[in-house]
Amino acid sequence: MKQRYDGSIYVPVVVGSAAVAADPARRTHLHIVPAPQAGSDGAADGELQAMEIGPLDLELGGHLPAVTLAYRTWGKLNPEGDNAVLILHALTGDSRAAGEGGWWSPLVGPGRAIDTERAFVVCSNILGGCQGSTGPSSIDPLTGRPYGMRFPLITIGDMVNAQRRLVERLGIKRLVAIGGSIGGFQALEWATRHPDLVRASAPLAATGALPPMGIALNEAGRRAVMADPDWRGGEYQSEGVFPAEGLAIARMIAMTTFHSHESMWMRFGRKPATRPSLYPSFGGTFDVEGYIHYHGAALVRRFDANSHLYLTRAMDLYDVGRDGGEEYWLSRIAAPVLLLGIRSDWLYPPQEVRALADRMAALGKDVTYVELDSPHGHDAFLKEWDMMTQAIRPFLDRVLPAESPE
């Protein structure tokens, strides 16, 4: 399964330097999607755009001399600038939240739960990602080479600080922050650290910190990547190779966390494989093995291995109560909150999400807790469209401006 940069694996979407653009010999890969264009008032709904937001000092002491965020928008910002909905994607997601191929398309669009006839919807690729925003695969302006592991450690707070610069440059004065999993961490960060801009927040399938089981499984995935000989200490991009085997294994581990015990039995049971095996058979192949093999191979074609390391570590490090305690930060929430748990989610158990809601309520906050009665585990917020619509639509109807933008 050794693979090189031949177009069969992931190649990062990078807004390259002028020098790289002018010298094709310095390009180590092809783009799988066009590089984002600079943001424009005339951009069509869903068009990939990019915004330079300048240098960024980071929470853990690092510094990035120049940061770009890739983003897409749908709908129209009203004259008051207060009808924005900021969608915050999950770990390996991107800015394509809506439209054809969008990962949340059933929820976003005209007349849908997140109604683009009423709201100005923004979704950006997070800092540290690999779909147009600055991350480990970006060119380090000091060396002219990809950052690799010279990229500084980043946090959820850094991601949100970068997003704030983006939305302010877009003219947004107030917003609803909504997202699931690592996107839920970002929504909670918006509510507690940036209450002046938040008119409501919806952290979905997330708590105030990743439980130890999640940290352990993230670490197993990172070690799989780093054990791949083609990781090369994170320098694989410069050396023209890719740690495909390690990243595929990391994704296989992660896929088990997105399911539940119940959904695994419902979908796979102990049935033999229904698709050709991607690995040599060892006493036959179960259907569930073929499923994780397939998803491991699929991620290799669309995601960067170093981004996986940095983003999973940012998940591990997040704690809403850092630097002051949970009660202090929850007390700073100044707008309605929707917390959503999933009955069968063992990564962020619903009782822990509900307990967070109870602690917010005890502080006098306007908080609503909704639980999806779904067997599909953590990923239910990406599958249960009717349930998600029923959970989200009433909340957004309450917190968004009543009138559509002209």
Catalytic residues: 181, 345, 378
**Separation between Cα atoms, residue 286 and residue 222, nearest integer Å:** 25
Strand ranges (E), 125-262: 139-140, 145-146, 175-180, 198-204
Residue with tokens 């739960």: 113
Judge residue 311's burial from the number of C-beta atoms within 10 Å of its C-beta, 0-12 exposed, 13-18 middle, 19 or more buried. buried
How far out from the chain centre does Cα 377 lie?
Answer: 18
Looking up tokens 């093995």, which residue turns up?
Answer: 289
Burial 270-299 (b: 16+ CB within 10 A, else e): eeebeeeeeeeeeeebeebbbbbbbbbbeb
Whole-angstrom Cα distance, residue 318 to residue 59?
11
> CB neighbours of 27 closer than 8 A, spacing ≥ 6?
16, 20
C-alpha 203/C-alpha 191 separation (Å) is 9
